[in-house]
Structure 1
């Protein structure tokens, strides 16, 4: 019995030596946590790129994080270095700080649009191959220098990268937000008949100390070719069947300058390419919209006549918005709407490759079919109350 207990004890003790431990762990005090990465063209003749890293200041997060209210209370610091490529610039940043750079919390990759116009794959690949940025990292293209975007200190959030990603989710809602990440960019890039997108940033908001989202950045292969503004981004969401449950405002059909609000409950869309093998193919875009009319300057009678008039107004504006978006994409020669993907999937005998489709896409003729089904949010019947009757 004693020998059995001794054998059990020795067996359990020997197993302890086989258990894995934190063999590659590092103390937090020895890490410089990177929150965002920015890439700009270098102003030095012997270098090609300038990389900026937004680093968290751990001493500011030792207590409950608070939003920044002044330069002396900033929760992050931005370090920039120029190099012959992205990896060289990051290596120089590592040599300039006293901690090991840690990229496990990177939330956003910001690329200056001047560099994005020459292609962003050479800039992104070193970050992905060395696992400095995950595939879930938001991808941004900025009109202004990327280093300026990283220097914003939002007044509503202690962590700028968190504020920016949350603001994107709130301002440009997507049912498939992965489309606007680094991984979504690569997925669209290798999918036949569709081009990648990214979030397009503009000048910042001084009151909130945060960049402003312009809309979507359109790409042809990995090269930035232009941007869709916020209205055109909504049109893109209609075509891509990505419009979430949200509210939109429309112009009053009778009252000059008035507007009414529609709470969109569902959007179903479909694109169908006809005569894809012809030199000038045609596409039919069908959009079905359902929602509630919440109110507005032109919502007064809530009767069927007024309802029909407002339905027609919504139909007209949605049709115009989608057509404008399609024309803008054709001007860019960038099929970010995925019309070519439709041909590749449903008419494979007409698919002749991406290069051939890129020549056909600007010539495509679009036909719209918009169906709108709306009702008043509070429908009721008025009764004349007469107590003496």
Structure 2
């Protein structure tokens, strides 16, 4: 045989020997697509490292159902017949163990590449370091995406996965649609992604996450959950109004309604644009004075009896009323964070770190711990509301 042919044959043989092919291939009809995960503490078990995991898995045949009214139907022969999903739960010591245990209970191996949401109960989140312990499995999983949404349940997380999905195929679709409505309401946070939470955990910054609660057969995403940046544990919840104030301070407002009272009547102001700027002055080595300037622009969204919004002085009075209300709301949020929880979810520490690093370095170790300089800082809020338009009509009734 010609030497070149021999060499070519040897090269091909070596190439074939190192090609592994699709050795780990799993056919699509053998995959169990997990779209939602709920993490709870088992009932009557106070152990820190015991978790109850509930997976919401897709039934591909059920997705063909075009009507949302048929997703909850079943029969005695097959309880999942006609459904687009089913929930399966087990209890174990860790997230990998839960995934392994569930793999032994379902005909399709759990597959997380299409995971959209992780819901963690408040009972789990309030224990020290439980949040990073739970999320570690999902962060390390090669199938995972950084855009997976994280929610904190005010109550049992598994109950959230059991709701009836109005107008949607699955509860996860239903909840995901609600979570995107922050352009219509500023009483809830924007979506909390697992990638963002990972950054908070690494930076040791206090942070807030979206809160979800089962209510009247559905769910509500009103308010937020506050976490300590050091212990990573849930400290408590902010109300919808307090979350509204926090959203304006942290530049998270995408829209929504701001209401105030003038002449015993409710004024509705639709926010179209909002901005915020921080200013700081160091009055002494351990004392900081912050000024937060907030600007909100938008449209008058509600006609008011016996008030002519086309009059310049009336517009000024309306703007002043809205400014007073927003100032009161933001001050309420600041007071709760400074004196009740003593945690800087306002972003003042990160602002100093990024924009005034020399000023920040001597304060860093005592900002939220030690002397807790955050609680001693003076924080003043200045609000400017601009009514750009007064709507299509001046009044809806005429005496």
- TM bracket, shorter-chain basis: 0.7 to 0.9
Quote the residue 2:236 is aligned against: 226
Cα pair 2:179 2:190 within 8 Å, conserved: no
2:136 match: secondary structure: helix
1:43 match: secondary structure: coil
Cα pair 1:68 1:74 within 8 Å, conserved: yes
Alpha-carbon distance in 1 for matches of 2:273, 2:65: 43
Quote the residue 2:250 is aligned against: 240
Quote the residue 2:138 is aligned against: 127
Quote the residue 1:386 is aligned against: none
1:296 match: secondary structure: coil
Give the stretch that moved more between structures: 61-70 or 161-170.
61-70
Pick closer, same or farther for the CA change 1:75–1:380 going to 2, 3 Å.
closer
Quote the residue 2:350 is aligned against: 341
How many equivalent residue pairs? Answer: 361
Q: Is 1:186–2:198 an aligned residue pair?
A: yes
Aligned match for 1:60, one of 59, 62, 65:
62
Alpha-carbon distance in 2 for matches of 1:186, 1:354: 21
2:262 match: secondary structure: coil
Quote the residue 1:27 is aligned against: 27
Q: Is 1:279–2:292 an aligned residue pair?
A: no
Deviation digits for residues 192-230 of structure 1 (CA, Å, limit 9, x no counterpart): 7x4222111123232xxx321132111112211111222
Aligned match for 1:214, one of 222, 229, 246:
222
Instruction: Name stretches of at least 5 consecutive residues in structure 2 with no aligned partner.
Output: 1-15, 75-81, 395-399
Cα pair 2:352 2:359 within 8 Å, conserved: yes
Alpha-carbon distance in 1 for matches of 2:197, 2:331: 24
Pick closer, same or farther for the CA change 1:260–1:183 going to 2, 3 Å.
same
Alpha-carbon distance in 2 for matches of 1:196, 1:166: 23
Cα pair 2:62 2:71 within 8 Å, conserved: no
Cα pair 1:68 1:154 within 8 Å, conserved: no
Deviation digits for residues 325-375 of structure 1 (CA, Å, limit 9, x no counterpart): 112222222212210011112221222465411011122221111122214
Pick closer, same or farther for the CA change 1:247–1:174 going to 2, 3 Å.
closer
Cα pair 1:285 1:366 within 8 Å, conserved: yes
Aligned match for 2:387, one of 350, 374, 386:
374
Quote the residue 1:317 is aligned against: 325
Q: Is 1:267–2:274 an aligned residue pair?
A: yes
2:302 match: secondary structure: strand
Quote the residue 2:53 is aligned against: 51
Alpha-carbon distance in 2 for matches of 1:99, 1:61: 17
Deviation digits for residues 20-47 of structure 1 (CA, Å, limit 9, x no counterpart): 9766443332111101111111237587
Pick closer, same or farther for the CA change 1:378–1:204 going to 2, 3 Å.
closer
Alpha-carbon distance in 2 for matches of 1:83, 1:44: 14
Quote the residue 2:9 is aligned against: none
Alpha-carbon distance in 2 for matches of 1:77, 1:353: 51
Alpha-carbon distance in 1 for matches of 2:363, 2:126: 23
Alpha-carbon distance in 2 for matches of 1:60, 1:294: 42
Alpha-carbon distance in 1 for matches of 2:314, 2:20: 71
Cα pair 1:39 1:111 within 8 Å, conserved: yes
Pick closer, same or farther for the CA change 1:247–1:110 going to 2, 3 Å.
closer
Alpha-carbon distance in 1 for matches of 2:302, 2:43: 53
Alpha-carbon distance in 1 for matches of 2:169, 2:37: 18
Cα pair 1:201 1:211 within 8 Å, conserved: yes
Deviation digits for residues 162-202 of structure 1 (CA, Å, limit 9, x no counterpart): 22112011146699x8861111112233347x422211112
Quote the residue 1:79 is aligned against: 88
Quote the residue 1:93 is aligned against: 102
Cα pair 2:287 2:377 within 8 Å, conserved: yes
Alpha-carbon distance in 1 for matches of 2:116, 2:283: 40
TM-score (norm 1): 0.83
Pick closer, same or farther for the CA change 1:276–1:130 going to 2, 3 Å.
farther
TM-score (norm 2): 0.81
Q: CA deviation at 1:273?
A: 2.9
Instruction: Name stretches of at least 5 consecutive residues in structure 1 with no aligned partner.
Output: 1-16, 382-389
Alpha-carbon distance in 1 for matches of 2:336, 2:88: 37
1:214 match: secondary structure: coil
